[in-house]
Chain A
Amino acid sequence: MILIAERINGMFTDVKQAIADKDKKVIQDLAKRQTEAGAAYLDVNVGTAAADQEGTMEWLVESIQETCSTPLCLDSQKPGVIAGGLKVINPENGVLLNSTPLNKKSDEEVFDKYIEMADQVGPKANLIALTMDKNGVPQDTDTRVAIAAEIVSKAMEKGFDPQRLFIDPIVLPVKVPNAQVQPTNILAAMDQIKYLADPAPHMTVGLSNLSQGASERSLINRIFLAMAMSHGLDSAIADVFDTALVNAVATAEMLMNKQIYSDSFLKVYKSANK
């Protein structure tokens, strides 16, 4: 499971404050602790507070890389902000660009731009692509799969290895009127997306979005994560400090026979992913 740790995000008050104060220590501490908790990537999102988003992304990336070589996941809907981070990224560590839709009304070519940015960094740059287009976020299974198929074929046309793609079928909050059908739709979409290429493209979700505004957030997140893993999900943007969540991942991997069982399987998972 490729866990992308979500905490370096300007939406969190501690990070927002650190950005305002230019306090590297807070950011570097989060990078270290999330890495120790099993993060394969650290998501980096400047949030909405900073006036200069590009500069802030650049500062965050530089600050993290001073003390940590965990690959980063540059998170912005604005290509310019991602480019700001890429200016200073260490391409050797690997990087994930987060994220692009297939296309959007204001920018038909947005997907191509992200592919180009990834290619400029090199072969260790991967890309999260949302199953979303100019008509917005699809609610049903078929449209999600159709968009995912277009994403994969477009990537192949551009010579971009589908294994560098992380397809995100977009998880919506379950505590919204009429939204309870969505988790099932997403799992059904995953069942098909995994066959769009061989080997399959990666699949990821912004997990915490699922439980937005709900009670029992951790429980909802980890149960869905385990369910989705059995449908082919191999990555998630999540709270790696949630021990119960990480234990659920370790257990699901063991039950899916991806790890040989031993009585200490939880411990082994943690030590292997540090």
Chain B
Amino acid sequence: MPVPEVTDSFAGSVNRITLGATKDDGGTRSSTVTIGGAKNVVYGGLVEDAGETPVVAMDVLDSKPEDWPEALVEPYKDVLDKPGDWAKKCVEEFGADLICVKFDGIHPDKGDKGADHAVKVTEEVLKAVGVPLVLWGCGNNEKDNEVMPKVSGAAKGEKCLIGIVEEDNYKSLTAIALADGHFLITAAPLDINIAKQVNILVSDMGFPLERIVTFQSTGALGYGIEYAYSIQERQRLAALSGDKMMAMPVICDVGYESWRAKEAKMEDAPGWGAVADRGPMWETATATCLLQAGADIIRMRHPRAVATVKRFISKVWKNKG
């Protein structure tokens, strides 16, 4: 696709969606989050074309993480085994717009916890914070299909964003998300053709396109960020050209991917600067880059990175209509 002039105007736009249901809307959230709506590329066109301000979803794990580096454990050391308190800390101290509950602990290799545990965590986090939730499975299809429908039910009517569904595993979660009134994350492995196909498959099941957020997979700085950037950008241009199957807002998993990078966490690297700074910097650089490609929700982990990225967002989007 050709790179457009920044002065171009487009026929299409990114879908605008509102996550979270307040009491009036049948839920218990104290606030909602609206994303999408962009009518141009980031920085392109008129101020009012910028759409909604991107948001940060901070990760809360259902079970205490065993492999987190010291720099990432430090800010959460008192709450790592208390998902409710962890979520509260993210919202009240670190300014999280949403909480993303990541159910790592249900994975067969990471604790193999059952649906009861996942439901309990969901209820705990719903009670602890008033922001909308993202509910993200462990990545093992069998286990996710067993547990995530229960998680969905525990948050029924709260208009959460739940996922992920993929080309070869979408039916169970799509059906339950539809029934429980949630929004759905459709995922593809850095492949725009598969991304589009998943959206088609899901919409064939009667799931409204206006309730989908896409996850194209994320690569961190130094680990394939250019692929993630290009795909986000291509999706945005397709949305602007009126492709209804690609007009969804976008979520990126910056926290997990950034902290996988050895540069973010390797202790014994004298030439690289203080390890306490490197992780947050890696996360910040990855996030700001993907925001410019058109990401709408950024999943993040370190509070310092979150603070910097939120400052960046407020500067770039400050004049929006």
Contacts and interface: CB of A to CB of B under 8 A. Distances in A.
Tell whether A pairs with B. yes
Interface string B165-204: 0000000000000000000000000001110110011000
Interface in B62-81: none
A267 B200 contact: yes
Nearest to B242: A272
B245 interface: yes
B208 to A, nearest CB: 14
Nearest to B167: A263
Contact of B234 (A260, A262, A268): A260
Contact of A262 (B1, B196, B244): B196
B238 A260 contact: yes
A260 B244 CA distance: 11
B246 A260 contact: yes
Chain A, interface residues (CB within 8 Å), range: 10 to 19
Nearest to B246: A260
Interface in A218-274: 257, 259-264, 267-268, 272
Nearest to B1: A257
Given A260-B193, A262-B197, A272 B238 contact: no
Given A257-B1, A260-B243, A268 B200 contact: yes
Q: Which of B193, B201, B244, B245 has the most CB of A within 10 A?
A: B245
A257 B246 CA distance: 14
Q: Which of B192, B197, B246 has the most CB of A within 10 A?
A: B197
Nearest to B193: A261
A257 B194 CA distance: 16
Contacts of A267: 200
B197 A259 contact: no
A257 B200 CA distance: 19
A262 B194 CA distance: 6
Contacts of B200: 262, 264, 267-268
A262 B235 CA distance: 13
B197 A264 contact: yes
A259 B196 CA distance: 11
Q: Which of A257, A262, A268 has the most CB of B within 10 A?
A: A262
A248 B1 CA distance: 21
A257 B201 CA distance: 21
Given A264-B197, A264-B200, A268-B200, A259 B243 contact: yes
A124 to B, nearest CB: 15
Interface in B200-250: 200-201, 234, 238, 243-246
Contacts of A262: 193-194, 196-197, 200, 245
Contacts of A268: 196, 200, 245
B218 to A, nearest CB: 20
Contacts of A257: 1
A262 B243 CA distance: 12
B9 to A, nearest CB: 13
Contacts of B194: 262
A260 B1 CA distance: 10
Nearest to B200: A264
Contacts of B201: 264
A263 B193 CA distance: 8
A44 B216 CA distance: 46
Interface in B244-258: 244-246
A84 to B, nearest CB: 33
Interface in A3-27: none
Interface string B240-281: 000111100000000000000000000000000000000000
Contact of B192 (A260, A263, A272): A260
A263 B197 contact: yes
Nearest to A264: B200
Contacts of A264: 197, 200-201
A242 B187 CA distance: 36
A263 B200 CA distance: 9
A264 B243 CA distance: 14
A158 B146 CA distance: 68
Contacts of B243: 259-260, 272
Nearest to A261: B193
Nearest to A267: B200
A259 B192 CA distance: 11
Contacts of B245: 260, 262, 268
A59 B139 CA distance: 62
A259 B239 CA distance: 11
B246 A272 contact: no
Contacts of B244: 272
A52 B200 CA distance: 49
A256 B238 CA distance: 14
Contacts of B197: 262-264
B192 to A, nearest CB: 6
A220 B243 CA distance: 30
Interface of A: 257, 259-264, 267-268, 272
5 contacts: A257-B1, A260-B192, A260-B196, A260-B243, A262-B200
Given A257-B1, A262-B194, A262-B197, 12 more contacts: A260-B192, A260-B238, A260-B245, A261-B196, A262-B193, A262-B196, A262-B200, A262-B245, A264-B200, A267-B200, A268-B245, A272-B243
Q: Shortest 10 CB-CB distances between A and B: which pairs?
A: A262-B196, A262-B197, A264-B200, A261-B193, A263-B197, A260-B196, A262-B193, A260-B238, A260-B192, A268-B245
